[in-house]
């Protein structure tokens, strides 16, 4: 089904309804994981678990994903709220369907990336998101999820871990 070498597993802990802010957080996290300035990370996937729905975005298959918030929020709204389909986005029963050789919590990854030089693929990065006050952050990092994903991609790119 997938050709994923780098997989972000986003687990959203919230009882809050899917409002515009939450859709924007999810959309920004997806674009941060997959978009490069000139292309899409074809070997990267992002699996999102929300209380309502679980879905995976496959970098090599997704179409019409752009960096602007409005179009990416529109895609997320179509899939999550309206139950629609979009190329490269598939509903899953759980992100555990992704067979990971290694599973790192993003906090561990950012603290100690040196041991990743020789790994087996796919490399999975677990990103737990929680609501702190009025803002969604990565648990124990106090970073917004899209910022944490961008930093993780940069770290992995810099040490030569394929995307």
CATH number at residue 66: 3.40.1280.10
Domain with 67 in it: 6-158
Q: State the pLDDT confidence band at 1, using cuts at 50, 70 and 90.
A: very low
Beta carbons within 8 Å of 75's beta carbon, 6+ residues apart: 27, 64, 65, 86, 89
**What is the pTM (predicted TM-score) of this model?**
0.90
Within a domain: residue 163? no
Within a domain: residue 147? yes
Domain total in the chain? 1
Backbone CA torsion sign across 161, 56, 132, 71: positive
What would the mean pLDDT of 7-31 be, rounded to a whole number?
89
Tell me which of 8-12, 56-60, 66-70 is least confident: 66-70
Within a domain: residue 29? yes
Token pair 């970073």: residue: 143
Within a domain: residue 86? yes
What would the mean pLDDT of 82-96 be, rounded to a whole number?
86
Within a domain: residue 48? yes
pLDDT at residue 45, rounded to an integer: 94
Average per-residue pLDDT for the chain: 86
Within a domain: residue 97? yes
Within a domain: residue 1? no
pLDDT at residue 155, rounded to an integer: 87
Within a domain: residue 109? yes
Q: State the pLDDT confidence band at 2, using cuts at 50, 70 and 90.
A: low
Tell me which of 80-84, 131-135, 152-156 is least confident: 80-84
131 pLDDT higher than 80: yes
What would the mean pLDDT of 109-119 be, rounded to a whole number?
70
């Amino acid at each position: 089904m997938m050709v994923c070498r780098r997989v972000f597993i986003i687990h959203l802990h919230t009882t809050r309804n899917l409002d515009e802010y939450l859709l924007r957080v999810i959309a920004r996290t997806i674009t941060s994981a997959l978009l490069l300035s000139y292309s899409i990370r074809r070997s990267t996937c992002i699996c999102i678990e929300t209380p309502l729905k679980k879905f995976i975005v496959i970098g090599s298959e997704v179409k019409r994903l752009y960096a602007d918030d409005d179009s990416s929020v529109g895609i997320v709204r179509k899939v999550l709220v309206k139950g629609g389909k979009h190329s490269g986005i598939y509903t899953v029963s759980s992100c555990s369907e992704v067979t990971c050789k290694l599973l790192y919590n993003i906090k561990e990854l950012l603290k100690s990336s040196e041991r990743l030089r020789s790994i087996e693929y796919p490399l999975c990065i677990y990103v737990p998101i929680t609501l702190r006050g009025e803002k969604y952050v990565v648990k124990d990092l106090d970073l917004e999820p899209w910022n944490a994903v961008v930093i993780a991609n940069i770290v992995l790119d810099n040490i030569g871990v394929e995307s």
